[in-house]
């Protein structure tokens, strides 16, 4: 039996990345209906920014989020999107610090932290991503790297007691994202425990209520084992969130863990 705070419902989030045009709203509607059939699970989708508004209008049961936001509320930042704009479009959360943002856009922990604070001020909740590269894991540095990412990326919360409602962490080993190579369950347990320690150090007792999601090649076959693992509060899912066929079994697996 998992030792888990009773208020922590499993949280299953689909990250559509740079995939999806309006035709994908049919998938979102089907995912929304599946969420309705699994009321013990919090389900959410982070579509491309262009679909946040239409997706918000198409669903009633699931959360809708952005995949990034700027550190500033507004201004001369061509092509960027602010947290205020995401909220205005209908988002209720934002994913920050995804390894693809860290890699493609040079995002540091300090940048992620600044974005997190802007997003909170805009009323969004957060999923802050952390994870080590394969070279870092092979060098025995996974816990130290991820711990430092947690410490450096966490926003200062106006009300730390509300951390569990405002914040989730996604542990996503970089080498497991989009590769089909999933982390071993025992390694996930170790890393989630290390992240929990950092959360407790930063937030005190409130750190116990922050959900820690696993991400990295989660699919219908491996979801049940990962979601049943100690300290795993849900999953951030990329490729397998793009079709109902792949995503619904993951929601169903989470339903058995609620
Ligand atoms: C992700 O993008 O956050 C992710 C985990 O992707 P995938 O599930 O495709 O590995």
For ligand 1, the distance from its centroid to the CA atom of residue 38, given in whole angstroms, is: 22
Which pair of structure tokens corresponds to residue 22? 């309006």
Under 8 Å between Cβ of 250 and 221: no
* Angle in degrees, CA 39, 251, 195, rounded to 5: 100
Q: For the whole model, what pTM was predicted?
A: 0.96
User: Is there a catalytic annotation at residue 73?
Assistant: no
- Which residue has the least CA distance to atom 4 on ligand 1? 238
* Residue 91 dihedral angles phi and psi, to the nearest 5°: -75, 145
**Residue 135: which residues within 8 A CB-CB, separation 6 or more?**
none
Check if CATH label 3.20.20.70 holds for domain 4-35+43-72+81-211+226-240.
yes
Q: Ligand 1: which of 236, 243, 246, 250 to mutate, most ligand atoms within 8 Å of CB?
A: 236
pLDDT band at 257 (very low <50, low <70, confident <90, very high): low
Q: Is 57 exposed, middle or buried (0-12, 13-18, 19+ CB in 10 A)?
A: exposed
Q: What number is the average pLDDT over the span 245-252? A: 97
Helix (H/G/I), strand (E/B), else coil: 219: coil
DSSP structural state of residue 214: E
DSSP structural state of residue 153: H
User: Is there a catalytic annotation at residue 172?
Assistant: yes
- Which residue has the least CA distance to atom 1 on ligand 1? 238
Under 8 Å between Cβ of 67 and 17: yes
pLDDT tens per residue across span 55-113: 999 999 999 999 999 999 999 999 999 999 999 999 999 999 999 999 999 999 999 99
Helix (H/G/I), strand (E/B), else coil: 124: coil
For ligand 1, the distance from its centroid to the CA atom of residue 178, given in whole angstroms, is: 5
For ligand 1, the distance from its centroid to the CA atom of residue 180, given in whole angstroms, is: 9
User: Which residues' Cβ are closer than 6 Å to ligand 1?
Assistant: 15, 17, 172, 177-178, 215-218, 236-240
Specify the pLDDT at position 1: 40
Which pair of structure tokens corresponds to residue 57? 């209008």
* Residue 2 dihedral angles phi and psi, to the nearest 5°: -75, 135
Distance CA 51, CA 29 (A): 13
Parse the chain into domains and list their residue ranges: 4-35+43-72+81-211+226-240
pLDDT of 7 higher than 70? no
Enumerate the β-bridge partners of residue 231: none
């Amino acid at each position: 039996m998992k030792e888990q705070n009773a208020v922590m419902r499993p949280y299953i989030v689909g990250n559509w990345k740079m995939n999806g045009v309006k035709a994908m709203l049919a998938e979102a509607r089907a995912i929304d209906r599946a969420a309705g059939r699994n009321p013990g699970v919090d389900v959410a989708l982070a579509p491309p920014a262009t679909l946040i508004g239409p997706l918000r209008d198409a669903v009633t049961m699931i959360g809708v989020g952005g995949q990034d936001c700027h550190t500033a509320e507004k201004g001369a930042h061509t092509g960027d999107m602010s947290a205020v704009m995401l909220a205005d479009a209908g988002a209720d959360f934002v994913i920050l610090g995804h390894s693809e943002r860290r890699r493609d856009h040079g995002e540091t922990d300090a940048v992620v932290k600044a974005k997190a604070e802007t997003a909170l001020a805009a009323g969004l909740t957060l999923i802050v991503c952390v994870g080590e590269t394969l070279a870092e894991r092979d060098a025995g540095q996974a816990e130290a790297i991820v711990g430092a990412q947690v410490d450096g990326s966490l926003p200062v919360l106006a009300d730390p007691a509300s951390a569990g409602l405002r914040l989730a962490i996604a542990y996503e080993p970089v080498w497991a994202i989009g590769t089909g190579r999933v982390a071993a369950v025992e390694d996930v347990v170790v890393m989630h425990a290390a992240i929990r320690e950092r959360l407790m150090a930063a937030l005190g007792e409130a750190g116990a209520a922050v959900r820690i999601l696993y991400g990295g090649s989660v699919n219908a076959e491996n979801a049940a084992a990962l979601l049943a693992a100690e300290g795993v509060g849900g999953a951030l899912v990329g490729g397998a969130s793009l079709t109902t066929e792949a995503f619904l079994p993951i929601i169903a697996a989470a339903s058995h863990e609620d």
